[in-house]
């Protein structure tokens, strides 16, 4: 419980810094609206500038709430709850859940299962982020592993089915990215040209700042208990999504167990990474990618991202070494001298 509180505080601080930069211009004549709420299990914060800013922010928050109600694992009326509790049955689901399940399966295939939306049994077993978090026994892990595998999720036109009882869908690694893109649609429908939304480290900016300069997005220091920003990225119409081992975790016998599970081992991914941040245009894809490359690790993850167009990545290792993909070097500024940029491909063997 204490840990959770601390984590929320860190998020608020990181966001606060972001707002300071966001408001740092004098040319602001457009009406402005902002709001903060706890949705999708995280702190959501948004700001918009424009004639319809207020209604755009209100509708955006409402849309995020709707998405939570459709895709939460714990809300009993959600599509995902119904799917998880009625295996071997075709369940009618909303268009929104269908879009997310489809994209999740696409990334599961593309990443050879590093990203896997059927990770739910393992996530429940570990209970990370809940009061019951504990290291499971090996036989419990093996049982949950046998209930993991995206081949057990079948999608039809308006419905979906889990083919193996015990398999549980968990969209925690992708639904926030979908929500960010939905916010983009809502604000653009209202003619807003300057806005940002931050869903607990999943940041999307729309347009530039009111004065025409890029938004400055602060990337949080991934070290335990640090609330400061370690890098700043100039951003226009883009998204930065971070997956890290510091977001939800517990410690037992001096070992840290975090919330991103390697679907091959059934254990939290262990590869000397503190975090992986994806910078791209689309938050939906970036969310799946950040989780996937965190699981893949530095070398495999970097090669994978370099094979994609218009997607960049920053990895931070436990040694505070920072590895940037090729398109990122000119737009990121490391502001904390504890972190060292490693140039070139020196991570490769």
Evaluated on CA atoms 261, 140, 168, 11, the torsion sign reads negative
The answer to whether residues 34 and 41 touch, using CB atoms and an 8 Å cutoff, is no
Taking the C-alpha atoms of residue 317 and residue 223, their distance in angstroms, rounded to an integer, is 10
Geometric angle at alpha carbon 41, from 323 and 279, rounded to 5°: 25
Q: How far is the CB of 99 from Mg ion (least distance, A)?
A: 16
The answer to whether residues 243 and 291 touch, using CB atoms and an 8 Å cutoff, is yes
- Of the residues 103, 194, 209, 259, which one makes contact with ligand AMP according to CB under 6 A: 259
290 near ligand AMP (CB under 6 A): yes
Range in contact with Mg ion (rule: CB under 5 A) among 8-16, 166-174, 255-263, 328-336: 166-174
312 near ligand AMP (CB under 6 A): no
43 near ligand AMP (CB under 6 A): no
Nearest residue (CB) to ligand AMP, 46 versus 269: 269
The residue count for binding ligand AMP (CB under 6 A) is: 18
Q: How many CB atoms lie within 10 A of CB 299?
A: 15
Residue nearest to ligand AMP (CB): 172
50 near ligand AMP (CB under 6 A): no
The residue count for binding Mg ion (CB under 5 A) is: 4
The answer to whether residues 232 and 216 touch, using CB atoms and an 8 Å cutoff, is yes
123 near ligand AMP (CB under 6 A): yes
Q: How far is the CB of 199 from ligand AMP (least distance, A)?
A: 10
172 near ligand AMP (CB under 6 A): yes
Nearest residue (CB) to ligand AMP, 45 versus 290: 290
Please state, in angstroms and as integers, the Cα–Cα distance from residue 107 to each residue in 103, 190, 268, 292, 343, following that order.
6, 31, 19, 8, 29
Taking the C-alpha atoms of residue 67 and residue 78, their distance in angstroms, rounded to an integer, is 9
| Interface residue list for ligand AMP (CB under 6 A) | 115-117, 119, 123, 170, 172-173, 243, 247, 259-261, 263, 287, 290-291, 295
């Amino acid at each position: 419980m204490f840990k959770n509180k601390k984590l929320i505080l860190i998020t608020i601080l990181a966001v606060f810094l972001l707002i300071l930069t966001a408001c740092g211009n004098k040319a602001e004549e457009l009406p402005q609206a902002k709001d903060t709420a706890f949705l999708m299990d995280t702190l959501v914060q948004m700001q918009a500038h424009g004639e319809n800013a207020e209604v755009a922010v209100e509708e955006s928050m409402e849309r995020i709430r709707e998405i939570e109600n459709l895709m939460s694992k714990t809300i009993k009326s959600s599509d995902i709850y119904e799917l998880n509790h009625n295996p071997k049955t075709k369940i009618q689901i909303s268009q929104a859940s269908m879009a997310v399940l489809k994209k999740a399966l696409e990334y599961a295939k593309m990443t050879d299962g590093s990203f896997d939306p059927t990770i739910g049994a393992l996530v429940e077993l570990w209970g990370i982020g809940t009061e019951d978090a504990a290291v499971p026994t090996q036989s419990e892990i093996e049982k949950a592993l046998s209930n993991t595998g995206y081949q057990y999720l079948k999608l039809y036109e308006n419905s979906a089915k889990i083919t193996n009882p015990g398999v549980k869908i968990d969209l925690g690694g992708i639904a926030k990215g979908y929500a960010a893109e939905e916010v983009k649609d809502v604000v653009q429908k209202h003619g807003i040209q300057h806005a940002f939304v931050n869903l607990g480290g999943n940041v999307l900016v729309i347009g530039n700042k009111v004065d025409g300069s890029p938004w400055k997005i602060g990337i949080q220091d991934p070290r335990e208990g640090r609330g400061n920003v370690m890098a700043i990225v100039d951003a226009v119409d883009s998204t930065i999504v971070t997956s890290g081992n510091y977001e939800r975790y517990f410690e037992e016998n001096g070992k840290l167990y975090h919330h991103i599970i390697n679907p091959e081992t059934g254990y939290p991914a262990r590869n000397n990474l503190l975090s992986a941040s994806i910078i791209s245009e689309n938050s939906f894809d970036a969310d799946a990618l950040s989780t996937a490359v965190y699981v893949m690790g530095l070398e495999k993850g970097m090669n994978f991202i370099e094979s994609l167009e218009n997607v960049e990545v920053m990895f931070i290792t436990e040694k505070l070494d920072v590895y940037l993909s090729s398109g990122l070097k000119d737009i990121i500024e490391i502001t904390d001298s504890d972190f060292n940029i490693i140039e070139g491909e020196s991570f490769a063997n």
